[in-house]
Amino acid sequence: MLEAQITTRIGGFTLDVDLQAHGGVTALFGPSGAGKTSLARAIAGLSHPERGRIALNGKVLLDGTTNVPAHHRGIGYVFQEPRLFPHLDVRANLLYGARPGQDPGPVADMLGIEGLLHRRPAGLSGGEAARVAIGRALLRDPKLLILDEPLAALDAPRRSAILPWLERLRDRGLPVLYISHAMEEVARLADTLVLLREGRIAHAGPLAESLADPSLTPLIGPSQAGAVLTAEVAAQADGVMTVRTPVGALHVPGSAALGHILRLRVRAEDIIIATSEPMGLSALNVLPVTIDALHAGDGPAVMVRLRAGDGFLLARVTKRSVQALTLEPGRPVWAVVKTTAFAHGDVGTARPNAKA
C-alpha cells in the first residue's frame, strides 16, 4: 500500500494531494502540467516536497523527521526516455543496479527481449529500448514500480505493440503507479483511476466504475470517454470475434482462443442511439439498452449512460438529439456500434482472474 500526502509549490502552482494506492495498477491521468510527474518524483525521492508524509507498505519514507534516499526506497522508476547506457549492451544495462548474481533471463523472457541481450542501445527500436528500461527497474526487485509515461515518445504502432508486454507486467502482481495522458493505455492496464487536475486529485476510484460515470467526462475529455468491459471470446470467423460481455454479445475485430478473457474499451463517440430497433444496417452490434443517466456539459454534447444487463455503456450525442428524440432516464433505446469502430489498441487481455 502506498500513502502519499504531499504539499509543495512547483512553478506556478501548488501540488496538494492525498493519495492512497492499494496494489494493482493505479493510473495517474491528467493533462500536461497537472502535476503527475511532480507527484511521482516526490514519491520516488527524486525531489523533496516542502511538507508531507510518504509511506510504502507501512514503512515511512518521508515525514517531518525522515527522508529515505531514493536508492533505499525500494521504488523502481521508468522515465519517458529509456536512459540506457550507450556503452553497455542490453544485458549489462539490465543488470545495472541489480543485486550481484541476478539472472536477467526470466525478466528478459517476460518482456520479449531475451534475443537482444548482446545488442547495444543504438541498435534497438524505441519499443525495445522501453522494454529494456522496464526490465532494468524490475531487476532491482522494487516494492513499487513507477512508469512515467513510458510510451509517450513512441508513435502509435509502437505503442500498440508494447501494450501487450505491459499487460504481462501488470499480471505479475507488482504494484504499479502508471502515469499517462493517453486513455487507451490507462483503459488497457489500470485497476484504479486517479484524475489529477492543477496539482489536486479531482477523482479516485475503480477504473471501470469511473469510466462509466458521465459526470467525469469533463475531467477525462469527451474524445477519451468510454466504458471498459470484460469480455469472453465465444466464437470467431472472418477476422471477427464474438465476445460475451456484461452488456451482451459484441462483435469486435481480431482473433483469440475461445474462452480467452479480454478487456474491451467502447468509446462514447462511437455509439449511436436509436429510439426504434434499427433494421438493414451494416453495423453488427445493435444492443437493446435503457437510458440510465444524462450529463450535459458546457458545449453542444451530452454524455448518456446506457444500462444493459449487468453493465453500462457511454454514448456521446448532441443536445439537439436529446431534445429531438426525447431521451430521458428510464427510456428503452438501442445502442449501435460498428465493428470497425474498435481500434486495435482498444482490445487487450484482461487479468487472469477476470470474469466476463
Q: What is the pLDDT of residues 28-67, one digit of tens each?
A: 999 888 999 999 999 999 999 999 999 999 999 999 899 9
Alpha-carbon span 53 to 67, nearest angstrom: 10
165: confidence class by pLDDT, cuts 50, 70, 90: confident
The mean per-residue pLDDT over the stretch 93-97 comes to 93
Give the tens place of pLDDT for each residue, 255-291: 999 999 999 999 999 999 999 999 999 999 999 999 9
**What is the per-residue pLDDT for 86?**
95
Can you name the residues that pair with 145 across neighbouring β-strands? 76, 176
Contact 38, 69 (CB under 8 A): no
The mean per-residue pLDDT over the stretch 304-329 comes to 95
Angstrom distances, CA of residue 27 to CA of 69, 151, 278, 352? 24, 14, 38, 20
The mean per-residue pLDDT over the stretch 178-183 comes to 91
**Confidence (pTM):** 0.91
AA identity, residue 342? F
The mean per-residue pLDDT over the stretch 113-139 comes to 93
172: confidence class by pLDDT, cuts 50, 70, 90: confident
**What is the per-residue pLDDT for 298?**
78
The mean per-residue pLDDT over the stretch 145-157 comes to 88
Query: 83 Cβ partners below 8 Å, 6+ apart?
Result: 133
Q: What secondary structure letter does DSSP report for 151?
A: T
The mean per-residue pLDDT over the stretch 192-204 comes to 95
**What is the per-residue pLDDT for 292?**
96
The yes-or-no verdict on residue 356 having pLDDT over 80 is: no
**What is the per-residue pLDDT for 23?**
85
Angstrom distances, CA of residue 191 to CA of 12, 28, 71, 131, 212? 31, 11, 27, 21, 14
11: confidence class by pLDDT, cuts 50, 70, 90: confident
Give the tens place of pLDDT for each residue, 100-110: 989 999 999 98
How many CB atoms are located within 10 Å of the residue 249 CB? 14
The proportion of the chain whose per-residue pLDDT surpasses 70, expressed as a percent, equals: 100
Q: For all residues of the chain together, what is the average pLDDT?
A: 92
160: confidence class by pLDDT, cuts 50, 70, 90: confident
**Burial of 11 from C-beta contacts in 10 A (0-12 / 13-18 / 19+):** exposed
Give the tens place of pLDDT for each residue, 342-353: 877 788 888 887
How many CB atoms are located within 10 Å of the residue 237 CB? 9
297: confidence class by pLDDT, cuts 50, 70, 90: confident
Alpha-carbon span 129 to 324, nearest angstrom: 53
Contact 268, 288 (CB under 8 A): no
